[in-house]
Amino acid sequence: MAEILILAEHDGEAVKKVTLELVTLARRFGEPAVVWTGPGAEAAQARLAEFGAAKVYVAADPVYDDYVVAPKAELLAELAGQKSPAAVLVASTAEGREVGGRLAVKTGWGILTDVVGLGDDITAEQVIFGGAINVSSRVRLGTPIIAVRPNAISPEPAAGEAVIEPVSIAVSDAAKQARITERARSAPPSAPPALSPTRAGIRTSSRSGRPARRYRRSSTSRSVSQGRSSTGPACRPRRRSWS
């Protein structure tokens, strides 16, 4: 059975949900083989095996974390040349699409992005124009590179071995043009500031600190206080006599 190469998305400690979705999808077409770059593969091995990954190709060189996307594209191109996969799956994220596009340029293969499903012959289902139109697409040249939209596939557990196989390639100097100097992590949401009694809708007296009373004048009391109503004498027209 041919392999399906899957570029793993992770945070260095845990595998992301979209990778489990790709593994679930890959089981329909071949043997899921996850390509893991950087550290953390051993900690994620059990999780990948739980969802049916057969192999995990681990490239632990720090170069994949130190430089932007280009080293990952070179790694996938090298593995694709060695393993002859039936397809290459990446997440349709900003980084996944960039890696997939560079892989397509290096190999000459076709790429499809924002895919939400695959048919039995690896025909891709895509949603365009904000969901107004569904289209079916298929790669005509080379091995298909498929960028699958996150949350499009429901991850389903299935027993796998997830055998770790270390891999190493010589990353070219051309792939080291853009170096990552800092990574920004989003801070946890902070609690909203406590509202003062006035801002919360409670008015207090400046002297005693007790809640001040509020009076609301209704429309009925206004009409009575003004001495007029829609049916009262003040609204009736005066009669005039003509001689």
- pLDDT-wise least confident of 7-16, 108-117, 217-226: 217-226
Indicate the SS3 state at residue 121: coil
Is the pLDDT at 200 greater than 80, yes or no? Answer: no
With vertex at residue 183, the alpha carbon angle to CA 181 and CA 189, rounded to the nearest 5 degrees, is 155
- Other beta carbons within 10 angstroms of residue 209's beta carbon come to 8
With vertex at residue 23, the alpha carbon angle to CA 129 and CA 21, rounded to the nearest 5 degrees, is 45
SS (H, E, C) 157-214: CECCCCEEEECCCCCCHHHHCCECCCCCCCCCCCCCCCCCCCCCCCCECCCCCCECCC
User: According to the model, what pLDDT value does residue 79 have?
Assistant: 97
pLDDT in tens, 102-159: 999 999 999 999 999 999 999 999 988 888 889 999 999 999 999 999 999 999 999 9
> Beta strand pairing status for 133-137 and 124-128?
antiparallel
Strand partners, 76: none
User: According to the model, what pLDDT value does residue 72 have?
Assistant: 97
Task: Read off the DSSP letter of residue 143.
Answer: S
Is the pLDDT at 10 greater than 90, yes or no? Answer: yes
pLDDT band at 223 (very low <50, low <70, confident <90, very high): very low
pLDDT band at 80 (very low <50, low <70, confident <90, very high): very high
Is the pLDDT at 81 greater than 90, yes or no? Answer: yes
Q: Phi and psi dihedrals of 43, rounded to 5?
A: -70, -30
Task: Read off the DSSP letter of residue 87.
Answer: E
Encoded tokens for 173: 């100097």
Instruction: Give Cβ neighbours of residue 83 (< 8 Å, ≥ 6 apart).
Output: 3, 5, 33
**Average pLDDT value for the chain:** 85
* Angstrom distance (rounded) from CA 153 to CA 91: 11
Is the pLDDT at 192 greater than 60, yes or no? Answer: yes
- pLDDT-wise least confident of 1-5, 142-146, 179-183, 197-201: 197-201
The sign of the dihedral angle between the CA atoms of 95, 97, 98, 102 is positive
- Residue, of 171 and 230, whose pLDDT is higher: 171
pLDDT in tens, 41-72: 999 999 999 999 999 999 999 999 989 999 99
Domain segments of the chain: what residues? Answer: 3-171
Q: Looking at the domain 3-171, which fold is it?
A: Rossmann fold (3.40.50)
Encoded tokens for 84: 């002859």
User: According to the model, what pLDDT value does residue 180 have?
Assistant: 86
- Residue, of 63 and 191, whose pLDDT is higher: 63
